[in-house]
Structure 1
Amino acid sequence: MKFSRRSVLHGTAAAFASPLLGGIGTGVLSERAAAQGTDWKHGLSLFGDVKYPAGFKNFEYVNPAAPQGGVVRLSGFGTFDNFNEVVALVKGNLAMGTGLITETLMTPSFDEVSTEYGLLADGVRHAEDHSWVIYRVSDKAKWHDGKPVTAEDVIFSFNVLKENRPDLAAYYRHVTKAEKTGEREVTFTFDGPGNRELPHIVGQLTIFPKHWWEGTDKSGNKRDITATTLEPPLSSGPYRIKEFTPGRSIVYEKVADYWGKDLNVNIGTNNFERIRYEYFRDSTVALEAFKGDQIDWRTETSAKDWATSYDFPAVREKKVVREEFPQNSSGVMQAFAFNIRRDKFKDARLRQAFNYAFDFEEMNRQLFYGQYKRINSYFFGTELASSGVPQGMELEILETVRADVPPDLFTKPYANPVNGDPTAVRNNLRQALTLLREAGYEIKDTKLVNAKTGAPFSVEVLLVQPAFERIALFYKPALQRLGIDVQVRTVDTSQYENRLRQWDYDIIVASWGESLSPGNEQREFWGSQAADRPGSRNYIGIKNPAVDKMIERVIFAKSREELVAATHALDRVLLWNSYVVPNWAYPFARTARWDRFGHPDNMPKYISPAFPTIWWWDKDKAAKVPQRS
């Protein structure tokens, strides 16, 4: 399961009919819903009861009396040329912060797992078998032009997203239709029962104003929701676009008459008067801008910079605060990912050889100051990560695909090769050469060649972040010792995105964030149907029946226990197929900020630090550390 980007920054209806409802009218639908015990609810939880009762005042992790005002200056990277989320992954570069202006039907709680509460919707109900869901649009919800958010807006948004976003078309693939079945009600019908995540997925739907997108701009030209635009769009959220310089900066200002400012899910959030993004093309320049008090907040992703670049006067004078926040909300797989659509990467033994050549231990010492741990799971850092050998329910699930997975999966714990000293490196390189020979390669004149054709083996590591060059170049000599010709190429954001859309790469550095309740998005990450769809996140190109079966077990799990077991099984099948060379992770968010902000004492368990969502401008601190203009 994934939530709307709004949850944290740093981000035509068909005729109503379904196998369950048989085209019945609104009144009969209401009777059927009542008969099935589907009264209106204020929130949804995937497997249990919601924490907050109907009519709750605010979330426990916010400060309901948080001061209002102040300006936050944040950094963006690359460039932007688009404000239209509908085409975000297929055209242009979407501006950072657009989640501030858009809203979804529901919004997540940061101290619960897979739980949503009403935002644009004030009520929800669904069939007991999860074959349909009804959302009721709040009669208070308004667009910034004062017009109400309507059921027609919801249906319009669902249709345009499904038609124009390949990733969301896959995500909503099992939602067969959306239809108005009441003055403020929209019914979403699913293609079958049992998928308990689908009502939640629909709740994450971003809603766009139908009347605005079907109108004309100031020049009299009809708007096109299938195209990129730099016209600030009409929206309903707590902020609107105040000003921008294309590709360089964008400023969001708080909406004074925002319809939802007193909504319980919004109390204590959206406390800043303005939020500004300044774009940089180089991370070093961005760091220097932070040091020079041109940027207020920085989330540091470089271990080297965290260890060496924060000894400057403002830190020593305690004007800049360094703080690490635990990451409990998600797992991650970051890795060198192979494009197995290409024949040279189809043999798992060859891919495994790349892992044997990866000296993480020495890299961690030399480049990362010993800060990282090697990733050994696609759900690293959570209870969903597999370990040991399969047992119990997990073993039962894996038995259904025994013939289609590596046999060692059942008898050996997965482990990455360990390097770090000359003896281990030599032994692992020998093992890598053995695997390469088994995969049909041999060494001729110090070059790795195909034993049948004599063609040399070469790879290109495609990067978009210059900071990753030193990592790829550290890895390169080990691969060259195996006779592999290695090229490292860094391109700009636009070129990189275009090559990803066309699957035009050998190896990339990819990452997949995982929630604590994985579900339908797993099809987008690893499913066969996503492998050849431009814009999908199946960067690897996996088409594996065993993986597909494990994904379905995750999606249709009937309890938390079954979900965990099925996710362990999926994790194990992915790991033992050697689709990636796992990288590394750090269990904390490393942050630095100029000391002019406040945050609640009771920070949320699952999304932290949640900046700037639940933070505020502290006037007393800011008086001591005035913001440089």
Structure 2
Amino acid sequence: MPRIIAKTAESHLAPLLGKWLVAGAAAISILMAAQSARAEGDGIIRSHGYSYFGDLTYPADYTHFGYVNPEAPKGGEISIWAPGTFDSMNPYARKGRAGRYSWMMYETLLGEAPAGGGGMPADVYGEAYGLLAERLEYDEGKTWVTFFMRPEARFSDGTPVTAHDVVFSHNLLIEQGLPSYGQAVKKRVLSAEALNDHTVKFTFAQGMSRRSLIDQVGGVPVYSKAWYEETGARLDEPRLETSPGSAPYMIDSYDINRRIVYKRNPDYWGWHLPINKGRHNFDRIRIEYFADDSAAFEAFKAGEYTFRQEGNSKQWATGYDFPGVQKGDVVKKELPDGTPPTPTGVVFNLGKEVLKDRRVREAVSLAYNFEWTNESLQFGLFKQRHSFVQGNPLEAKGLPEGKERALLESLGDLVPDEILNEPAIMAHASSPKREVDRRNLRRAMALLDEAGWAVGDDGMRRNAKGDTLKLNFPMPSSGSATMGAFVEVFVQNLRRMGIDATHEKIDPAQYTLRERDRDYELVFDQYAAFLDTGTGLHQRYGSKEAAISLFNPAGLASPLVDKIIDISLETETREDRDVALMALDRVLRWERFMIPVWYNDSTWVAYYDQYEYPDPLPRYALGQLDFWWFNADKAADLKASGALR
């Protein structure tokens, strides 16, 4: 999730792609320790988990992930909030608005990130461990992989999870999932076949990168083939009825647009597995829906839900002085966050003719005043983001040097001279004293003049055809007042330049449709940080699916970006991979398809004092739904005092 506002168009779709998306919750340093998967004399690698370079932190006989409390008690409830509405419990349909966490009932062969209840640990990056699969085999060239499944795995209706369900799910996602996903997978995965009831083999296409192949097929959510065939349900249609899953949680109840409750499955098949020790500790996970952030915060103060991850700086600075905090019933904490900041900001729709000129995009960017926004609206609590991998060794700085420069020079005319001869693009500086920085305003107006958008007698900018420079900025009505103020000031500054800029608040469901249809010039959205390479980089930043990908809201389509991604996919050492990704960061910043805004290097949370967590927390996940636990004695005290009902 972004740190500023809840994602609307993508939040329920992102889990579909698993590692295919190269998630941002990661980092470059990996603790290489206990065991590596090695090829034996027959050239076959046999392992209990997978990483591209073959190194695994946890050995085959590990008992639990190192950061969990293996003795954490089971029980209790954690409750959170969600904005807007929902009308579906199918998270993979393009239509409808899926309920929060409706994907968490399904498991994968190798597992997902911690919140998904899978086998990817939160203290290392690029490693996955067997969940539905107890082990896997693949050849050194990674042209195929075979997964050996756990025969004890069961769906929540008691039926076995088989290799036939895996093949069915793989094909279902290709045929009825996101078009961009289907197109990408069909090119890379030639076949999926069930060798027997508990063995499944995938064969991959030749002549392409071996990355994001084994981990992608290992990350496919597994559905019940029998249920889909019996009901005739489709994956691409919204529906409230859910297929049985094999994960620790299942649907308990829902009240449309008000509440969803998930319960821990008492008959869950996998409690004995080491990847589940100390995890999935709550009996119930409850999501309460509210129209907007203000209503949600008042409900939190009243105890209607019990855990809140705060993204509103004004609220964090001034709102947490209510009696619950004063009496110690509510804990307010800033917790460490080891992940790079989500590349969040104002995204340009590059499909709009008025925004195809890079000079226009740079001019529009100059309307954003981070320093004034941070001091006047956000209490000085944020930092300015410059990079897509902010604060880690992949961040491009200064002029390209060494191997990075050699890589860029090898691409010839694809690389503009300024990328080679000017420092990496940094977010501009502004004066904090007033909303508009006059120096930046003058620079922006000169750029617009140069781009052919002259100021007319009425003060509005027009091109040679007489068309005005119009920009519309929609935003969801469920957003915070701080976000609304930011957008309003930004649009005012655009109008000072002579741009016919407008903004509008619309209900969350309509906003979701507008985003999916790219019905905007400007939108507050996000991309993903990339601390490893993978075909998900093409999904996010590449040209092939740019016209249809929900994960590329700008519609970025750059031959230079494509080429650097391709180079990164062919690297065979970490050093060469890192060089390519640093070059990618430099080029993405040069493209100016997003105005980088603010970020927070910690996570703000508030919760009623009945929860506990491992100390220290793992680097790459807060994990409140995964490895936190419920303290029954503290909960009883809160109820006795009247703090909670």
Task: Give the TM-score normalised by structure 1.
Answer: 0.90
74, 80, 85: which one pairs with 1:74? 80
Query: What letter corresponds to residue 66 of structure 1 in structure 2?
Result: A
Cα gap change, 1:38/1:314 in structure 2, threshold over 3 Å: closer, same or farther? same
DSSP 3-state at the match of 1:589: strand
Q: Counterpart of 2:413 in structure 1: which amino acid?
A: A
Secondary structure at the residue paired with 1:466?
coil
SS at match of 2:342: strand
Displacement of 1:548 in angstroms is 0.6
| Aligned residue number for residue 551 of structure 1 | 565
Aligned to 2:296: 286
SS at 1:625's partner residue?
A: helix
Unaligned runs of 5+ in 2: 1-13, 20-24, 26-38, 111-118
* Correspondence for 2:387: 377
- Asked if the contact 1:331/1:516 (under 8 Å) is kept, the reply is no
Query: How far apart are 1:323 and its partner, in Å?
Result: 1.2
Q: 2:427 aligns with which of 409, 413, 416?
A: 416
The alignment status of 1:64 with 2:54, answered yes or no, reads no
The answer to whether 1:472 aligns with 2:487 is yes
Distance in 2, Cα, partners of 1:179 & 1:237: 23
Match of 1:86 in 2: 92
The CA deviation at 1:6 is: 9.6
Instruction: Please list, as runs of the form range in 1=range in 2, the aligned pairs for 1:35-434 lying within 5 A after superposition.
Output: 36-87=42-93, 90-106=94-110, 107-166=119-178, 167-173=180-186, 174-192=188-206, 193-216=208-231, 222-413=232-423, 414-420=425-431, 425-434=437-446
Q: Which residue identity does 1:316 align to in structure 2? A: Q
Q: Deviations over 1:387-443 (max 9, x none)?
A: 222112221221233422332222222222211157992221111111111111111
Shift of 1:287: 0.7
Q: How does 1:565-580 map to 2 (within 5 A)?
A: 565-580=579-594
Q: Is the 8 A contact 2:85 2:291 kept in 1?
A: yes
Question: What residue identity is the alignment partner of 2:525?
Answer: A
Structure 1 residues 7-40: Cα deviation after superposition (integer angstroms, max 9, x where no partner): 9xxx9xxxxxxxxxxxxxxxxxxxxx97653243
Paired with 1:515 and 1:620, the residues of 2 have a C-alpha distance of 42
Q: Secondary structure at the match of 1:571?
A: helix
Q: Which amino acid counterpart does residue 136 of structure 2 have in structure 1?
A: V
CA contact (8 A) 1:463 1:490 kept: yes
Change (3 A) 1:270 1:6: farther
Residues 135-175 of structure 1, C-alpha deviation per residue, up to 9 Å, x if partnerless?
Answer: 22211111112221111100110111112222432552422
Match of 2:455 among 415, 433, 443: 443
Whether the 8 Å contact between 1:58 and 1:266 is mirrored in structure 2 is yes
For residues 3 and 97 of structure 1, do their structure 2 counterparts lie closer, same or farther at Cα, with a shift above 3 Å needed? closer
**Secondary structure, aligned partner of 1:428:** helix
Q: TM-score, normalised by structure 2?
A: 0.88
Matches within 5 A, 1:536-547: 536-547=550-561
Q: Cα distance, 1:555 vs. partner? A: 2.4
Query: Which 5+ residue runs of structure 1 have no aligned equivalent?
Result: 12-32, 217-221
Q: Does 1:620 align with 2:624?
A: no
Partner of 2:47, secondary structure, is coil
- Cα distance in structure 1, aligned partners of 2:586 and 2:73: 48
1:180 alignment partner AA: A
Q: Is the CA contact (8 Å cut-off) linking 2:165 and 2:224 kept in structure 1?
A: yes
- 1:131·1:190 contact (CA, 8 Å) conserved in 2? yes
* SS of alignment partner, residue 337 of structure 1: strand
Q: Paired residue for 2:514, among 499, 512, 518?
A: 499
> Partners of 1:564 and 1:36 in 2: how far apart?
32
Q: How does 1:525-604 map to 2 (within 5 A)?
A: 525-533=540-548, 535-604=549-618
Q: Do the aligned partners of 1:331 and 1:382 also contact (CA within 8 Å) in 2? A: no
CA distance in 2, matches of 1:457, 1:332: 30
Deviation, 1:446, is 4.7
Give, in angstroms, the shift of residue 382 of structure 1: 2.9
Give yes or no for contact 2:211–2:535 (8 Å, CA) kept in 1.
no
Q: Aligned equivalents of 1:447 and 1:125: distance in 2?
A: 67
Instruction: Give the corresponding residue for 2:623.
Output: 610
Show the counterpart of 1:18.
none
Distance in structure 2 (CA, Å) of the matches to 1:171 and 1:384:
26
Coordinate RMSD, CA, aligned: 2.1
Give the distance between the partners of 1:280 and 1:554, measured in 2 at CA: 43
* One-letter amino acid of the counterpart of residue 498, structure 2: G
- Distance in 2 (CA, whole Å) between partners of 1:520 and 1:513 is 13
- Overall identity of the aligned pairs, in %: 34
Structure 2 distance, partners of 1:553, 1:322, is 45
**Are the aligned partners of 2:211 and 2:534 in contact in 1 as well (CA < 8 Å)?**
no
